[in-house]
Amino acid sequence: MPELPEVETIVRDLARLVPGATIARVEVLRPDLIERTSAGDFARALEGARIAGISRRAKNIVFDLGPDRLVVNLGMTGRLLVVPEADADPPHAGVRIRLSDGRVLLYHDVRRFGRLEVCPAGEWARRDGELGYEPLGADFTPRVLHELAGRSRVAIKTWMMDQRRVVGVGNIYASEACHRAAIDPRRPARSLTPDEAASLHAAIRDTLLEAIEFRGTTLLDYRDASGDEGGFAARLRVYDREGEPCPRCGGEIERIVQGGRATFFCGDCQR
DNA sequence: AACGCGCCCTGTCCGC
DNA sequence: TGCGGACAGGGCGCGT
């Protein structure tokens, strides 16, 4: 589900709502959501901790608890909601994190592809180091994109979604960025010229920034921390628009499958 | 090493 | 109306 803009929206919401709060009690309703430790250890590690800050790394929501980090990955259908006690028991509730002021940080996930884990800050720093460039970071330059892409024969759209290279771009924004850059998503990554790499670099950033502005894309499941939908779906240029005219050239938008995932593009103007 | 694929799980939608 | 199959925003582990 959520890609960088959706996770960023949730993180910004949470950064306004929960820093300074203390975790009173944790209830794990679906133990299969907890990564690496038992549900009991997970709850014990959180109870009594104070939330010092919230940040995003790739598609992960990271809570700074002092010595530890709580890391939440939403998978396809995960939601992280701040709700009053009365709303804390919906169907598909996965983990209830009760704050000492009475509010509940509720992890909700229909498909349960998401994961939560608590780990020492040092351990998280090591894993952070294995993730790729933040596409909105200053060190992600057109040259970096061109050099990294030059090492791979994978189709550029699939390449963009690999979190070891560039993080945060998922299936929706990969199609959207290829379209904005007018690049055929089937091209081998290493076939991009420096100019094409620069235009893809700009397209990735522009797409993600605009999607953040509109609080993300809700196709079906995505909700922000208040439970509201994102507004970017209406602005998608190709994703989920098979058969519609290309907004740039009027050609027909096609749907193909790459690596088992749907890709949408215009065969007329994406070269 | 790099890459492609199946799988995890539930709900929705579409065609028959 | 009912039913079976395809498909859905992610990421991991496997085999080649």
**Spatial contact of A56 and A128, defined as CB atoms under 8 Å apart:** no
What pairs with residue A81 in β-bridges?
Answer: A106
How much is the average pLDDT of A214-223? Answer: 96
How much is the average pLDDT of A1-21? Answer: 96
Is pTM, for the whole model, over 0.85?
yes
- The whole-number Å distance from A215's CA to C11's C1' is 24
Residue A89: band (very low, low, confident or very high) from pLDDT cuts 50, 70, 90: very high
- The whole-number Å distance from A201's CA to B16's C1' is 46
Q: Collapsing DSSP states into helix, strand and coil, what is residue A139? A: coil
pLDDT tens-digit profile of A38-88? 999 999 999 999 999 999 999 999 999 999 999 999 999 999 999 999 999
**Spatial contact of A34 and A70, defined as CB atoms under 8 Å apart:** no
How much is the average pLDDT of A112-140? Answer: 97
What integer pLDDT is reported at residue A39 of this predicted model?
98
Hunting for tokens 């992960």 — which residue is that?
Answer: A60
How much is the average pLDDT of A209-235? Answer: 97
- The whole-number Å distance from A145's CA to C10's C1' is 22
C-alpha span between A243 and A164 (Å, rounded): 33
pLDDT at A19 over 90: yes
pLDDT at A91 over 70: yes
Nearby residues of A198 by Cβ (< 8 Å), 6 or more positions away: A142, A145, A146
Burial A168-182 (b: 16+ CB within 10 A, else e): bbbbbbbbbbbbbbb
What integer pLDDT is reported at residue A149 of this predicted model?
97
Is A59 designated active site? Answer: yes
In this structure, is the CB of residue A243 within 7 Å of any atom belonging to strand B?
no
pLDDT over 70 percentage in chain A: 100
In this structure, is the CB of residue A261 within 7 Å of any atom belonging to strand B?
no
How much is the average pLDDT of A130-140? Answer: 97
Is A245 designated active site? Answer: no
Residue A1: band (very low, low, confident or very high) from pLDDT cuts 50, 70, 90: low
In this structure, is the CB of residue A125 within 7 Å of any atom belonging to strand B?
no
**How high is the mean pLDDT of chain A?**
97
In this structure, is the CB of residue A221 within 7 Å of any atom belonging to strand C?
yes
Residues constituting chain A: 271
